[in-house]
Structure 1
Amino acid sequence: MYILPSNYNQAYNHIVTTSLTHSTCKLVIFVSCLDVDALCALRILAAVFKKKLINFQIVPIVGYADLATHYTRLDADVNNIILVGCGAMVDLESFLDIDVGQFVDATRSLEAETVLKRKIFVIDGHRPWNLDNVFGSAMVTCFDDGLIGDLALEKDAYNFLVNIDDDELNQEEEEEEEEEEEEEIFEIDETDISRKRKSSSSSPQTKQPKTRKRVIKDNETTIENYYGQGTTVVTSVTSQVYSLVSLIGETNNLDNLWLAIIGSTSLEHQYPELWARLADLFRKEVRRLNHGADEERTADDSRLTVEKDYNLFLLRHWSLYNAFYYSNYINSKILLYTEQGKSKLNKIFAKMGISLSVAQQLWIYMDIGIKKKLHNIFTKVLVNQYGFDSLATEGYFRSFGYNGSVSARDCVEAISSLLEHEENSAPSESDDIDALTAEKEKLWVANFWRSWDALTDLAKIRQGIQLALFSQQLIFQVGHSIIEKKQLKNLKIFRLVVLSSSDYHLSLTAKNDASIHTNTAAGGRKFFLNPLNLMKLGNWLLDTISEVDDTLLPLVLAALDLETDTYLVIGMAPKVPKRGDGGSAALLNTFSVAFQHVANTTGVKVRIDSFESSVIEVRKDDLAPFLEKLTLSGLV
């Protein structure tokens, strides 16, 4: 079943009522542990439940297999389960092997309505919905994003197919087969009559109604088309949770709003249209809650502000030159991986009247007079002369008293980097693939808790920013290398990059900034074996490609894990540049369908476990046949 946004508070009231206990924990929250949006949403929920004195358990999970394992370990007394950032795209009752009858509350169930002792609530922006969750389950409740009402055709098809009488269908199929046999004999033995019959059947007036078998086929096609359209993210789970706390009167809280902004901002680059829709709502909320915005800063100041910001990577945390050089936006516009591009960047600074020596100073030491003039300089030179229309943008900032302020975009980069980097990890001594996978997932869960703490700790955010500075340099270095060495292959229906080693020069020396040291990459030995990092590299390549090639080919990246002898493979939809505002629009990702098809129809060994269904693992020896079958499938 599903619940409308205007009724989110009803689900909340049910959870509170049935989870309030002083003995055992009756509420368990499963959260995707590699998702900034899900992390922020959970932080809001946790604060609300703590305020209500509800005991709950948080379980970070890395994939569906992990979810199934932890679900089987749940105590029978658990009444409520919330899935944050996962669960929308699989039939949960079937996948988790749930016997719904086991949870019928005999003391409360009526003749007309069955009441269950356990409920599963899904807050997830991944689409398409699994229709069994939305229309066919009494146990699963999906938080509607306002779009389930658009699935009327799919709902009718689903209900029709669910209510088919198998015996009736089999009988009708037998009757149709008999009719076909009789007609065939009739045409052979009675030629003249057969000719009249054909003539009559071709007349519009005698058009026969669809057989039940044909109706079934049409409804099956409707469902297949729905699932086959590809995957995307249609909403931020933090925005859904913020809608929930709005309904229960918990919005006069800057912490909740700040977390909602960070979570939603994490989707900005991949899903710009989604962010544009949410940004307007957050702007109004900031103005509503931001009393005393013009007052002087105090030690406990925590105000939120909407200010001018720029598509320059972590501008306030290193030099102006580095912020330009390592910006995806600037890189794609002037092709910085070429010598001409690097020369053009120097000319841009000359036209702005900013010397390279000044541009290469750390931002905090840069002349305050130049900082104040930057917006006018950018408008005059970069927008008017170079067409960088979306360089200047709007940003959300949080004050931390006398310690300064930080932008939501900077927080996203910091938290993402904390999720991505293995902290002080040593090479594994095991050669068992399952053990190595479990060890990797354990590190990701540890990173989740590190990121959880950083959300409210400015010092930890700054640590994450240092990691982000290193990460971006490495991504640019590898991206430039891929293009220079012609590792980007244009195949028939997609582009391909295969990284033969997951090490990729981790002795990187930070350019132009002595304050960034390589020791920030303590666990960087498997940098591109984290799907978040591989996707960032993919985004860099897609941004670059979209500016020089109008061919809308998707991208496949594969990174070799030397320990397990497997490839981490991701499929990414192409991006369409929007020349007017400089943004890019993400298309539906059909790799989820294609990956499943290849795995189900070939002998290729594929592990599909990520909540991002276009992220898989393939054995090293199976990569070539997998890519061949993917090309032949025609589903990309």
Structure 2
Amino acid sequence: MKILLNNIKECFQKILKRSEFGKTSVCIIVSLDVDAICALRILTSLLNRENLQFRMIPVSGYSEMTEAIQKCGNMYKSIILLNCGNVYDMSDFIKGDIKFFIFDSHKPINHNNVNNEKSIYIIDDGMGQLEKCPEEEIKEMSDGDEDSIDEDDSGSHSSQIQRKQQQKLQRSLRKQLIQMHEDYYSQGTYYSRPSSTVVYTLAQQMNHDCNDHLWYAILGLTDAYIHMRLNQKNYDLIFEELQNEVIRLNIHFEETQGDAKKIGGVFIENEYKFLLMRQQSLYNSMYYSSYVGTKLKLWKDRDNKRLEEFMAKLGIPLNEAKQDFRYMNQKYKQILKSQIAEVASKFQMDDILYRSFVRQSDTKIQIAASDMVYAVNAILEYPQALLSKQLMQHQCSEVIEKLKTSETAAKFQNFFCALDTLGSKSDDLFQQGVQMALEFQAALVDEANNLIENNELYPCKHFRYGILKNESPQQKKFFQHPQSLQKLALLLMDIYKEKGYKQSNKSVILVNQLGELFMVVGVVGGMSFSGQEKNQFGQYFLRKVQELNLQFRQDSFETSVIEIHKDDFPNFIDAITDFKKN
């Protein structure tokens, strides 16, 4: 059943109505991404406010989501899915009186979820193109059904003509329905409004909006933007909504004097497309920025002459640019703010600034939304085997300790640490996440430079592909996670875009050899800060492995990720060389 965003309160009221006092009636299944965890933070606050007991289960892919739902059985009245469930037919999981409530930015939404009027509730956020969604399933028609009219000579001549006309109409309607399904799904996968902003709308309608909830919505929006899941138009639209909320909820902070009185406040601020500038030197934040690095073509400028020229044009000495930004002379911070737009335009970086938000965490420190997103995302993707050593001093909060089970504690340690980072009043977890993010980005840039320098990206007709042999410590540490491999593919795609290759050659497929399996990730040209293009690789991969009858696993919520057995990979890569975006 489709619920309009403006009426999202209906979902929560249905959950409340179905809950039983003193029993755990709600199960939340949550994907391992920043937006989903931010949505979880808001949602659990709303449930706690109503004294509703709930269980939460983190999942990293379709098989874990399926297992979680099956284990739920009939124990829960309501199952809430955060950033998972939209693209799958959830009617397969309906048992008894269970109701599914899906908050998921992945699109397109499976038509059976939209059309189920009793057990599945999805949110129409206005960005999911639901007006094109087919209203019914394509029914199989056997050969006997096709020929039955022709073989039936009984009845009058007029009745035979009527039956033939009816069959002709049915065939025509079926053809139209098939075309409608094709048009709806062949566009590929894409993203709409971040789930955290959807759940924040729920908090507004429940009169429980506050700066904490607003901050989580801002982080979800920022996560979608800096990871190229939202185009500029949709980002600006949601930004305006949240900007109005920031003004409304923080007007008293603006009127107070002194940083001590502004702790907890959220403020609007232009942000640079640099990497974690407040957490390192200005120089490194620009060098390791995917945006600046590609625009200045740093992959072919190992002496960094272009970056040094940029600094010189700004009027910032290198010794100032290379020290920690916090200790950089205030004079040069002002020069950066006043001169950046003009100087950047001379280097074809007209959109080097974007509108964003910061939050006052204590009397001296403001945390940028993008910095928090990078830190939490790094914790989520950090190798599990190394996470315990990195965070050995950290103890999860009492609330999260109660929610954990022995089974999930080890398997989803990254999730619980990321969840705690968002809600922690301490700066320790955030700073450790920052260090992980800096370490990963340095590896990302280095890996991209190596692939290009060694000519390890091979051109096909409509895309390029490269293979990570998973031999170096860097590859083993940082590129086992699908999203990490996707980020590397996006960086490579932007580099080739700046090289001036035609649009059709900007798509990139990256492969990482993981033992007996090859993990394959496809990204399409057009996924950038300025735009978003629907990704058709997932459907194309699936069609080819089925045609070739290959062993495969397509388990990620990002359907453009597929795992192929190493013996089948040569046949697979040969088969997909004719890929072309519609």
Residue deviations 1:554-594 (CA, integer Å, cap 9, x gap): 211111113xx2111111111277xxxxx431211001111
Equivalent pair of 1:593/1:635 in contact (CA under 8 Å): no
Counterpart of 2:196 (choices 235, 238, 242) is 238
Equivalent pair of 1:332/1:543 in contact (CA under 8 Å): yes
Equivalent pair of 1:420/1:444 in contact (CA under 8 Å): no
- Return the offset for 1:263: 0.8
Q: Which residue number corresponds to residue 141 of structure 1?
A: 121
Tell me which moved more, 6-15 or 350-359: 350-359
Q: Which residue number corresponds to residue 121 of structure 1?
A: 101
In the alignment, the residues of structure 2 paired with residue 389 and residue 68 of structure 1 have an alpha-carbon distance, to the nearest angstrom, of 46
Residue deviations 1:251-304 (CA, integer Å, cap 9, x gap): 1x1000000000111010312333222111111111111122242111771100
Equivalent pair of 2:127/2:193 in contact (CA under 8 Å): no
Indicate whether 1:288 and 2:248 are aligned. yes
Residue deviations 1:368-396 (CA, integer Å, cap 9, x gap): 1211221122134223x323211122220
Counterpart of 2:489 (choices 519, 522, 538) is 538
Equivalent pair of 1:552/1:576 in contact (CA under 8 Å): no
Counterpart of 1:417 (choices 371, 378, 381) is 378
Alpha carbons of structure 1 residues 213 and 341: separation in structure 2 relative to 1, 3 Å: farther
Structure 2 counterpart of 1:289, one-letter code: L
Q: Which residue number corresponds to residue 595 of structure 1?
A: 541
Structure 2 counterpart of 1:529, one-letter code: Q
Q: Which residue number corresponds to residue 50 of structure 1?
A: 48
Q: Which residue number corresponds to residue 272 of structure 1?
A: 231
Structure 1 counterpart of 2:283, one-letter code: Y
Indicate whether 1:567 and 2:567 are aligned. no
Structure 1 counterpart of 2:365, one-letter code: G
Whose radius of gyration is greater, 1 or 2?
1
In the alignment, the residues of structure 1 paired with residue 132 and residue 299 of structure 2 have an alpha-carbon distance, to the nearest angstrom, of 48
In the alignment, the residues of structure 2 paired with residue 603 and residue 136 of structure 1 have an alpha-carbon distance, to the nearest angstrom, of 32
Equivalent pair of 1:4/1:145 in contact (CA under 8 Å): yes
- Return the offset for 1:333: 0.9
Residue deviations 1:235-257 (CA, integer Å, cap 9, x gap): 11011101111111111x10000
Secondary structure, aligned partner of 1:293: helix
Equivalent pair of 1:29/1:59 in contact (CA under 8 Å): yes
Alpha carbons of structure 1 residues 590 and 459: separation in structure 2 relative to 1, 3 Å: same
In the alignment, the residues of structure 2 paired with residue 342 and residue 552 of structure 1 have an alpha-carbon distance, to the nearest angstrom, of 30
Q: Counterparts of 1:355-434 in structure 2 under 5 Å?
A: 355-383=317-345, 385-425=346-386
Tell me which moved more, 396-405 or 51-60: 396-405
- Return the offset for 1:504: 3.3
- Return the offset for 1:426: 9.9
Equivalent pair of 2:443/2:478 in contact (CA under 8 Å): no
Indicate whether 1:497 and 2:495 are aligned. no
Q: Which residue number corresponds to residue 472 of structure 1?
A: 441
- Return the offset for 1:352: 2.0
Equivalent pair of 1:598/1:633 in contact (CA under 8 Å): no
Structure 1 counterpart of 2:111, one-letter code: L
In the alignment, the residues of structure 2 paired with residue 388 and residue 278 of structure 1 have an alpha-carbon distance, to the nearest angstrom, of 24
Q: Which residue number corresponds to residue 148 of structure 2?
A: 174
Q: Which residue number corresponds to residue 350 of structure 1?
A: 312
Residue deviations 1:578-627 (CA, integer Å, cap 9, x gap): xxxxx431211001111211222222111011111111111122211111
- Return the offset for 1:632: 4.3
Supply the RMSD in Å over aligned alpha carbons: 2.7
Equivalent pair of 2:264/2:359 in contact (CA under 8 Å): yes
Q: Which residue number corresponds to residue 204 of structure 1?
A: none
Alpha carbons of structure 1 residues 576 and 538: separation in structure 2 relative to 1, 3 Å: closer
- Structure 2 unmatched ranges of 5 or more: 154-164, 389-406
In the alignment, the residues of structure 2 paired with residue 208 and residue 132 of structure 1 have an alpha-carbon distance, to the nearest angstrom, of 27
Alpha carbons of structure 1 residues 492 and 120: separation in structure 2 relative to 1, 3 Å: same
Q: Which residue number corresponds to residue 300 of structure 2?
A: 338
- Return the offset for 1:208: 12
In the alignment, the residues of structure 2 paired with residue 403 and residue 364 of structure 1 have an alpha-carbon distance, to the nearest angstrom, of 11
- Return the offset for 1:50: 0.8
Alpha carbons of structure 1 residues 6 and 351: separation in structure 2 relative to 1, 3 Å: closer
In the alignment, the residues of structure 2 paired with residue 426 and residue 392 of structure 1 have an alpha-carbon distance, to the nearest angstrom, of 33
Q: Which residue number corresponds to residue 557 of structure 1?
A: 510
TM-score, scaled relative to structure 1: 0.81
Alpha carbons of structure 1 residues 265 and 131: separation in structure 2 relative to 1, 3 Å: same
Equivalent pair of 1:478/1:504 in contact (CA under 8 Å): no
Q: Counterparts of 1:205-284 in structure 2 under 5 Å?
A: 210-251=168-209, 253-269=210-226, 270=228, 271-273=230-232, 274-284=234-244
- Return the offset for 1:444: 6.0
Alpha carbons of structure 1 residues 463 and 294: separation in structure 2 relative to 1, 3 Å: farther
Secondary structure, aligned partner of 1:31: strand
Structure 1 counterpart of 2:16, one-letter code: V
Alpha carbons of structure 1 residues 353 and 83: separation in structure 2 relative to 1, 3 Å: same
Secondary structure, aligned partner of 2:503: coil
Equivalent pair of 1:62/1:441 in contact (CA under 8 Å): no
- Structure 1 unmatched ranges of 5 or more: 104-116, 180-206, 428-439, 507-523, 578-582
Structure 2 counterpart of 1:558, one-letter code: V
In the alignment, the residues of structure 1 paired with residue 152 and residue 510 of structure 2 have an alpha-carbon distance, to the nearest angstrom, of 53
Equivalent pair of 1:605/1:622 in contact (CA under 8 Å): yes
Equivalent pair of 1:309/1:395 in contact (CA under 8 Å): yes
Structure 1 counterpart of 2:245, one-letter code: E
Equivalent pair of 1:120/1:139 in contact (CA under 8 Å): yes
Equivalent pair of 1:546/1:575 in contact (CA under 8 Å): no
- Return the offset for 1:4: 1.2
In the alignment, the residues of structure 2 paired with residue 360 and residue 408 of structure 1 have an alpha-carbon distance, to the nearest angstrom, of 23
Structure 1 counterpart of 2:260, one-letter code: T
In the alignment, the residues of structure 1 paired with residue 521 and residue 409 of structure 2 have an alpha-carbon distance, to the nearest angstrom, of 21
TM-score, scaled relative to structure 2: 0.88
Indicate whether 1:59 and 2:57 are aligned. yes
In the alignment, the residues of structure 1 paired with residue 106 and residue 534 of structure 2 have an alpha-carbon distance, to the nearest angstrom, of 11
Alpha carbons of structure 1 residues 379 and 632: separation in structure 2 relative to 1, 3 Å: closer
In the alignment, the residues of structure 2 paired with residue 630 and residue 350 of structure 1 have an alpha-carbon distance, to the nearest angstrom, of 47
In the alignment, the residues of structure 1 paired with residue 581 and residue 494 of structure 2 have an alpha-carbon distance, to the nearest angstrom, of 23
Structure 1 counterpart of 2:562, one-letter code: I
In the alignment, the residues of structure 1 paired with residue 408 and residue 73 of structure 2 have an alpha-carbon distance, to the nearest angstrom, of 23
In the alignment, the residues of structure 1 paired with residue 408 and residue 478 of structure 2 have an alpha-carbon distance, to the nearest angstrom, of 14
